[in-house]
Amino acid sequence: MKLILAPLADYTDAPFRRLCRECGADFAYTEMVSAAALAYGHNPTRHLLERMDGEGPVGCQVFGASEGDLAVAARVVTGRGFAELNLNAGCPMPNVTRCGAGAKLVGDPAKIGRLIKVLKENTDLPVTLKTRIGPRPGTDTIFEIVDAAVGAGAAGIAVHARYTSQMHGGPVHLDTLAEVVRRSPVPVVGNGGVRTKADLAAMSETGVAGVMIGRGAMGNPCIFNDLKGVYDGEGAQERPSGPVLCNRHLEYMLEFRELLVRKFPDDHVPSVDGYASVKMHTHLFRYFSGRPGAAALRARLNSVRTLAEIREIIKTI
């Protein structure tokens, strides 16, 4: 089964995608990139489109509701080595839905069709969609969404098998997902709540072409190889320890910062200390979660300002 790193805002940057690739991810997505920001030439947003060696195939995800912005965004994203251009029609955060994007689109399949068509007209990349099964229980718009998206030329659909009203919690509706797989003429990727081999087996039974993993990978990039059984049994690959993963993550982050400095000499890129502490802060919380002393470390992480302090903290994992 193809295992895919889900788009995760503030997490799935190039260093984390590279780490997940090394830990068994078959494919990964950028975090959602604002089509409006790309259309208006917002400099820091361009940094989200940068890649590192060793990431494997990556899809670029954009969000927006304006056909004009999405047309420009598709042209900006094209030619940068992405394997796919994905439209976000599932994010429930108010800053995204307020402008009619993300999960706001779940209730408007016809608009999803129009936006996919615009993307198709402005790129030669395969265009895909990531969406949910409906706005709320009893309103399964997913079947109309599939018809509209495929009619407009979508090459694949990733379905987070929850309703928008569920945000990121509650049951994952595998029966509906299986029905989507049965009816869809294009490959369907399943998403929602996969953390264990049993979760993966249950989702695989729906017939999906791939399984997308989000929160299960946060602080645990090895989840991909865990699910594939790469670390099981005699003669198996050794599972990297927490400190090994964190140090590798940190080194990739610093390498990526160098890449940004070289490529965008006129943009503001934080100092090594600033970059390392802000970026690693988010991830270290996850690496530590559930470990003894996590609460004390949480407090310590909040006051971290330098690379040296980050290195010290990693030693304690």
Binding ligand FMN (rule: CB under 6 A), the pick from 15, 193, 219, 221 is 193
Strand-strand pairing, 156-163 and 127-134: parallel
Which listed range, 75-83, 133-141, 208-216, 252-260, lies at the site for ligand FMN (CB under 6 A)? 208-216
H/E segment holding residue 144: helix 142-151
Binding ligand FMN (rule: CB under 6 A), the pick from 34, 45, 88, 184 is 88
| Site for ligand FMN contains 32 (CB under 6 A) | yes
Q: How far apart are CA 220 and CA 238, in angstroms?
A: 15
User: Of the two residues 34 and 307, which places its CB atom closer to ligand FMN in the complex?
Assistant: 34
Q: How far apart are CA 97 and CA 147, in angstroms?
A: 22
User: Of the two residues 93 and 254, which places its CB atom closer to ligand FMN in the complex?
Assistant: 93
Which listed range, 214-222, 241-249, 253-261, 297-305, lies at the site for ligand FMN (CB under 6 A)? 214-222
Q: How many residues does the chain have?
A: 317
What minimum distance in Å lies between the beta carbon of 35 and ligand FMN? 13
User: Of the two residues 118 and 227, which places its CB atom closer to ligand FMN in the complex?
Assistant: 227
| Site for ligand FMN contains 227 (CB under 6 A) | no
Binding ligand FMN (rule: CB under 6 A), the pick from 109, 134, 156, 192 is 192
Helix 14-22 / helix 242-263 crossing angle, nearest 10 deg: 140
φ, ψ of residue 84 to 5 degrees: the values are: -165, 155
Tokens of 11: 């997490």
Site for ligand FMN, residues 90 to 119, rule: CB under 6 A: 90-91
Site for ligand FMN, residues 143 to 162, rule: CB under 6 A: 160
What minimum distance in Å lies between the beta carbon of 169 and ligand FMN? 9
CA-CA distances (angstroms) from residue 272 to 8, 53, 181?
A: 23, 21, 46
What minimum distance in Å lies between the beta carbon of 166 and ligand FMN? 10
| Site for ligand FMN contains 279 (CB under 6 A) | no
DSSP 37-93: HHHTT-HHHHHTT---TT--SEEEEEE-S-HHHHHHHHHHHTTSS-SEEEEEE----
Closest CA to 253 of 272, 228, 234: 272
What minimum distance in Å lies between the beta carbon of 312 and ligand FMN? 27
User: Of the two residues 17 and 130, which places its CB atom closer to ligand FMN in the complex?
Assistant: 130
The residues, any chain, with a CB within 8 Å of residue 225's CB and separated by 6 or more, are 23, 24, 231, 237, 239
Which listed range, 5-13, 140-148, 248-256, 292-300, lies at the site for ligand FMN (CB under 6 A)? 5-13
Which listed range, 49-57, 111-119, 210-218, 272-280, lies at the site for ligand FMN (CB under 6 A)? 210-218
Can you point out the beta strands (E) in 105-248?
127-134, 156-163, 188-191, 210-213
Site for ligand FMN, residues 46 to 65, rule: CB under 6 A: 61
Name the site residues for ligand FMN (rule: CB under 6 A). 6-9, 31-32, 61, 88, 90-91, 130, 160, 168, 191-194, 213-216
